[in-house]
Amino acid sequence: MPEETRPTYVLVDGENIDATLGSMLGRRPRPEERPRWERLLEFVRERWGQPANGLFYLAANGELPMAFVQALLAMGYRPIALSGNSAVKVVDVAIQRTLVELRRRDADVLLVSNDGDFVEQVQGLLEGRRVGIAGFVEFRNLAFSALRDQGLETFDLEYDMRAFTERLPRVRIIPIDEFDPTQFL
């Protein structure tokens, strides 16, 4: 019987990623411009060699977006639809609570967000497990950079995880060995 592999929980802050895409594009992203969420689970399975359990947090004040929820389920995510007082960032609170609970479990964690509201909880997970943050490097809260020395792995959704089918209009620092002038002509 094979030794049981510890799981990785992939926590997706869908609102944060969508808002970041919106600011990049200067408008609401079209469906084809959004990440292919199944690629994140595939990336973790391949990169860390472990099962990946996707938790996708979304604010659902009022109506549940059933088509999107069904798509998430088909991709292997567990949608977590939240509601609450408009003064409360329900997705952030739920992710923070989940990160705290994961400290009590034998599991690794990949957080998909650029939001600095999770730095304290991510730091609390770093000892004894793999922990990663995925998002857009130019939008990632700088406090996460300090955690790299403590073992935090960082991934870019587009460049590392290949989560998009279309190239995004990003400005980034390009290592000269990766520079391809045809991308600009």
Mean pLDDT, rounded, of the chain: 91
CA–CA separation, 114 and 138 (whole Å): 9
Give the model's confidence band at 113: pLDDT under 50 very low, under 70 low, under 90 confident, else very high: very high
Q: Which helix (H) or strand (E) holds 109?
A: strand 108-112
Least confident of 102-106, 155-159, 180-184: 180-184
Of 9, 126, 108, the closest CA to residue 56 belongs to: 9
∠ CA 110-9-20, nearest 5°, is: 45
Of 8, 10, 9, 37, the closest CA to residue 21 belongs to: 37
**pLDDT one-digit tens code per residue, 55-111:** 999 998 778 889 899 999 999 999 999 988 888 899 999 999 999 999 999 999 999
CA–CA separation, 3 and 133 (whole Å): 27
* AA letter at 66: M
Q: Which two tokens stand for residue 27?
A: 């408008």
- The top-level CATH class assigned to 8-183 is alpha beta
DSSP character at residue 30: P
Q: What is residue 176's predicted lDDT score, i.e. its pLDDT? A: 87
pTM of the shown model: 0.90
